[in-house]
Every structure is written in C-alpha cells, then in structure tokens.
Amino acid sequence: MSRIAYVNGRYVPHREARVHVEDRGYQFADGVYEVIAVQQGHLLDEKGHLDRLDHSLKSLRIPWPMSRRALQSVTREVIRRNRVRNGFVYMQITRGVARRDHAFPKNAKCAVVMTARHLKQYDAKAAKTVGVDVITIPDIRWERRDIKSVSLLPNILGKQQAVEAGAYEAWQIDDDGCVTEGTATNAWIVNSKRELITRDASHAILNGITRLAVLEVARKNGVTFVERPFTVEEAKAAREAFLTSSTNHVKAVTRIDGTSIGNGDIGELTTNLIDMYAERMERAGEPEA
C-alpha cells in the first residue's frame, strides 16, 4: 500500500510530498514537531501531546496553523489513509515559507506536514526479557530542551555515537555530571532504597509524554518516586535502569558505559512498570479524563 502524507492542506502520495526550499523549518529549524503513538488504531495520550505542542508553539511564537479540533481531524485521516493500527503519526509545524532572513517574516503562513508509519505492537513480554546498553556523552544542546524543536543535530550526533559504540542509546550529561536525558528518550533509575528516580521537568529536558504516563501509573500503584537530577555514578550503581519514549514505550537498560546495572538482569520494579504501562496502553481507546 502506498503511504500517504499530509502537506499544507493536501493528502499526497508519500513519495511525492514536497515542501518549499525556503520553508523556515528547512533553512533555520524554525519549527516544532510531535510524535504520537498509535495503539490498536487509537492515539496514545493525544491530549498530552497536543498540550506539549501548544507549549512548543507558544515558546517559539508560532501560531496554530488550524484549530486543535481540525488538527485532530487531520491526524485521524492520516492514520486512516495509511491504515495504521500500531505505529505512530509524525506532525511538524514550521513558521512557513518566506524570503531568507533571520527575523520573523510578517506574512508567512505556517506550514504543516504529517506522516504515519506502521510499527510492531509493543510486546511487553519481550520488553521484560531483553535489556539494552547505553553510553554517556556530554550534553551540548541549547538551554530550552523543553521545546520539541526540529533542531536535533546534537541528538543525531549523540545517537550516532551510540550506534558506533554498539549501544542502543546515549544518555546526555550536564556540566554537573548529572544525566539529563537520552537523545530521544527520558532516563530512569531505581536506587538501593527502591526509589524510582527521573530528572525533574524543567528547561533541562523534554517532558516526555510517556515519562508522564509512567509517573502516573507509578503514583496509582503506590510506587515511591523522586523527580531530581542523578549523577552518572549514581546511575551505574543503581539497582535498575530503563528509558521511555513514545516509540520505545518502556525499555530496560542493563548496561551503562559497559557497566552492568544491578546483577545485569532486568529488575523487579522495571518489570512491574512494563506491565503497568502495557495495561494502560490497552485502555488507549477509552475517553481521556
């Protein structure tokens, strides 16, 4: 089946999708994006993603290109036309097309691109049996990481370092020696007190929607958690570690920079959180509160 993309008001074959050479997203990374998981044909945590999109747009002073309800309608149509039951939808909004100049253009119209892709359904059983390696790298990104900007060059460089090191992900380290987040994921550890720890939401990290979902299920199930920075040394000495994102969901980390975490196996709390999150995913089609 041919993939279908949405480009500025038109549904077109993916191979024919085009944006203008002077789109500011292309020339300046002057835009934002969101990736929303699709589970059993339903958008997962749609409200949270659109709320974060609103935050990103407002932070860059880019207006919504259409109403929220209209964007939701387009999103569902892209999913329908691509027949995606499990996968994700990618949406990107830029300031639009204008003569190249650093200052905001006065009359540019926002540009909107949306695509969808199939992925295998999240396999919680497999997630409880296979962990991944991460490496640590300096965090060289700008200071507004809470904005989901299309400017991802430091993330790309970091991910490539991980690939070349034979690792799955790279956790980025700030000037204080603390983990901020992965190149495309949020970072978590479980300490010797069995406390779940993840970096607090601030300008230092992107407040992941899956991150918020895991905190929600932890709270509902009586898991003790703390939102604070943690050092690389603390991470390597942790009982357990894992990462989260909209496409990875919950994935155990069993080695950091070659050091085994705990006994090298996936820990009890990580296993329980995978089950809790998978159960939450099964309720994806239910109305959001």
Q: What angle do CA 230, 250, 4 make, to 5 degrees?
A: 125
The half-sphere exposure of 23 on its side-chain side, counting CA atoms within 13 A, is 19
**148 is annotated as an active-site residue:** yes
Annotated catalytic residue within 58, 128, 148, 193: 148
Name residues whose C-beta falls within 8 Å of residue 179's C-beta, 6 or more positions apart in sequence.
Answer: 136, 171, 172, 173, 187, 199, 229, 230, 231, 232, 235
Name residues whose C-beta falls within 8 Å of residue 162's C-beta, 6 or more positions apart in sequence.
Answer: 134, 135, 168, 169, 170, 183
Q: Where are the beta strands (DSSP E) in 139-235?
A: 169-173, 179-182, 186-190, 196-198, 225-227
Report the catalytic residues: 148
